[in-house]
Amino acid sequence: MDYVTTLVGPRLVRVPRARDVLAVGRPAFWVVSVVPYYVGVLLATHRLVPVVADWPRLLVGAVVMGPLLWLSVLAINDAYDLPGDLINPRKSKSPLLDGRVSLAEAKWLAVAAGVASVGVAFFVGTTFALGVVLAVALGFAYSVPPVRLKTRAGFDVAANSLALGTFGPLAGWAAVNPT
């Protein structure tokens, strides 16, 4: 196994390596939500490049919208898609399928990244953080039974449209106008 062993309290715990956690979060997907987020920033500021004073808050928002949210949503999706992924040749390099990340670790990563995304979102603003709570909840509703929106005709597309087409731009707007 490709794990790091670390001391947590009185016992040793195996923790997936950072590159395996990164693989679960699929960095190529981050731009999928960062672009709508930037569109919201653009609409709120009417500027291609926001004022420098806003950059730290906007960058924190981009980290939430990219790596943190995607890790949460994709880890929980991978955990509940595992039976189907086992027979999908395109998923053969998945950290869950080859044992680099266990099912329990994927679920833990999903919850931890979801909590972290909400916690970090408060540094951007309260409205932004509320939107992140809704996005995490939608991500879990998309994948986790009994709701599992991805298996319900129409709801799968609606969930993705809401997350990317509505939440993304609103998040950018909320990052520019923190409350």
The pLDDT value recorded for residue 4 is: 52
The pLDDT value recorded for residue 129 is: 97
Dihedral angle of Cα 149, 151, 155, 156, to the nearest 10 degrees: 90
The pLDDT value recorded for residue 91 is: 84
The pLDDT value recorded for residue 6 is: 52
pLDDT tens track, the chain, 179 positions: 444 555 555 666 566 788 999 999 999 999 999 999 999 999 999 999 999 999 999 999 999 999 999 999 999 999 999 998 889 888 888 899 888 999 999 999 999 999 999 999 999 999 999 999 999 999 999 999 999 999 999 999 999 999 999 999 999 999 999 87
Neighbours of 125 (CB within 10 A): 19
The pLDDT value recorded for residue 171 is: 96
The pLDDT value recorded for residue 132 is: 97
Binning the chain into helix, strand and coil, the percentages to the nearest 5 are 70, 5, 25
Closest CA to 40 of 127, 159, 178, 166: 166
Domains detected in the chain: 18-176 (1.10.357.140)
